[in-house]
Amino acid sequence: MIVSTTAGFEALIIDGQRVAASDGGTFEVYDPSTGDVLATVAKATKADVRRAVQSARAALESKAWAGITPAERGRLLFRMAQAIRDRAEELSTLESRDNGKPLRQARADVQVAARYFEFFAGIADKIMGNTIPLGPGFLDYTIREPIGVSAQIIPWNYPIQIGARGVAPALAAGCTVVLKPAEDAPMTALRLGEIALTCGLPPGVLNVVPGMGPEAGAALASDPDINQLTFTGSVEVGTLVAKMAAVNIVPVVMELGGKSPNIVFADADLELAVQGVANAIFQNAGQTCSAGSRLLVERQVHDAVLARLVSKAKSMRVGPGGSDPDMGPIISKRQLETIEGYVKIGAVEGARIAVGGSRPEDPSLSRGFYYSPTLLDDVAPQMRVAQEEIFGPVLAIISFDELDEAADLANRSQYGLVAGIWTRDINKALSLAARIKAGQVYINTYGAGGGVELPFGGYKKSGYGREKGLEALASYTQLKNVCVKFA
Ligand code: NAI
Ligand code: MG
d(CA 79, CA 76): 5
Residue pLDDT, tens place only, 114-163: 999 999 999 999 999 999 999 999 999 999 999 999 999 999 999 999 99
pLDDT value, residue 44: 98
Mutate to test the pocket of ligand 1, among 152, 220, 234 (most ligand atoms within 8 A of CB): 234
- pLDDT of 22 > 80? The answer is yes
Give the orientation angle of helix 187-198 with respect to helix 159-172, to 10 degrees.
Answer: 40
Closest CA relative to residue 168, chosen from 79, 86, 99, 94: 79
Res. 110 pLDDT band, cuts 50 70 90: very high
Res. 450 pLDDT band, cuts 50 70 90: confident
Ligand 1, atom 22: closest residue by C-alpha: 213
Calculate how far, in angstroms, residue 243's C-alpha sits from the geometric centre of ligand 2.
16
Residue pLDDT, tens place only, 230-270: 999 999 999 999 999 999 999 999 999 999 999 999 999 99
Counting from 1 in the atom list of ligand 1, the atom nearest the Cα of 331 is 26
- Between strands 415-416 and 459-460, the pairing is antiparallel
The residue-averaged pLDDT of 299-325 equals: 98
- What 466-470 contacts at long range (C-beta under 8 Å, 24+ apart), as own/partner pairs, is 466/253, 466/439, 467/165, 467/166, 467/169, 467/230, 467/253, 467/255, 468/165, 470/123
Sheet of 440-443, strands arranged across: 352-355, 374-377, 394-400, 294-298, 261-264, 418-422, 440-443
Residue pLDDT, tens place only, 188-222: 999 999 999 999 999 999 999 999 999 999 999 99
pLDDT value, residue 3: 59
- pLDDT of 309 > 90? The answer is yes
d(CA 399, CA 418): 19
Calculate how far, in angstroms, residue 237's C-alpha sits from the geometric centre of ligand 2.
7
Threshold 0.95, pTM exceeds: yes
In whole numbers, what is the pLDDT of the chain averaged over residues?
A: 97
Ligand 1, atom 15: closest residue by C-alpha: 213
Distance of CA 337 to the CA centre of its chain: 22
Counting from 1 in the atom list of ligand 1, the atom nearest the Cα of 256 is 41
Res. 367 pLDDT band, cuts 50 70 90: very high
Alpha-carbon distances of 25 from 125, 181, 426, rounded to whole Å: 41, 16, 58
pLDDT value, residue 160: 98
Calculate how far, in angstroms, residue 435's C-alpha sits from the geometric centre of ligand 2.
33
Give the orientation angle of helix 103-121 with respect to helix 159-172, to 10 degrees.
Answer: 0
Cα 439–Cα 444–Cα 446 angle in degrees, nearest 5: 50
Calculate how far, in angstroms, residue 425's C-alpha sits from the geometric centre of ligand 2.
42
pLDDT value, residue 7: 58
- pLDDT of 46 > 70? The answer is yes
Distance of CA 396 to the CA centre of its chain: 22
What stretch of H or E contains 84?
A: helix 70-86
Ligand 1, atom 14: closest residue by C-alpha: 213
- pLDDT of 4 > 70? The answer is no
Ligand nearest to the CA of 185: 1
Ligand 1, atom 37: closest residue by C-alpha: 233
Q: What residues act catalytically? A: 255, 289
Residues having CB within 6 Å of any atom of ligand 1: 153-157, 180, 182-183, 213-214, 217-218, 221, 232-234, 237, 240-241, 255-257, 289, 338, 389, 391
Q: For residue 125, count CB atoms less than 10 angstroms from its CB and return exposed for 0-12, middle for 13-18, buried for 19 or more.
A: middle
- pLDDT of 6 > 90? The answer is no
Counting from 1 in the atom list of ligand 1, the atom nearest the Cα of 180 is 9
What stretch of H or E contains 483?
A: strand 477-485
Calculate how far, in angstroms, residue 249's C-alpha sits from the geometric centre of ligand 1.
22
Ligand nearest to the CA of 235: 1
**Which range among 6-15, 86-95, 158-167, 322-331 shows the weakest confidence by mean pLDDT?**
6-15
pLDDT value, residue 448: 67
d(CA 194, CA 210): 14
Calculate how far, in angstroms, residue 412's C-alpha sits from the geometric centre of ligand 2.
26
- pLDDT of 107 > 60? The answer is yes
Ligand 1, atom 10: closest residue by C-alpha: 213
Ligand 1, atom 13: closest residue by C-alpha: 213
pLDDT value, residue 8: 86
DSSP, res 201: P
The residue-averaged pLDDT of 389-398 equals: 98
Counting from 1 in the atom list of ligand 1, the atom nearest the Cα of 184 is 26
Counting from 1 in the atom list of ligand 1, the atom nearest the Cα of 335 is 32
Contacts for 70 with CB less than 8 Å, ≥ 6 apart? 124, 125, 127, 174
- pLDDT of 68 > 70? The answer is yes
- pLDDT of 1 > 60? The answer is no
The one-letter amino acid code at 183 reads E
- pLDDT of 2 > 90? The answer is no
Calculate how far, in angstroms, residue 303's C-alpha sits from the geometric centre of ligand 2.
38
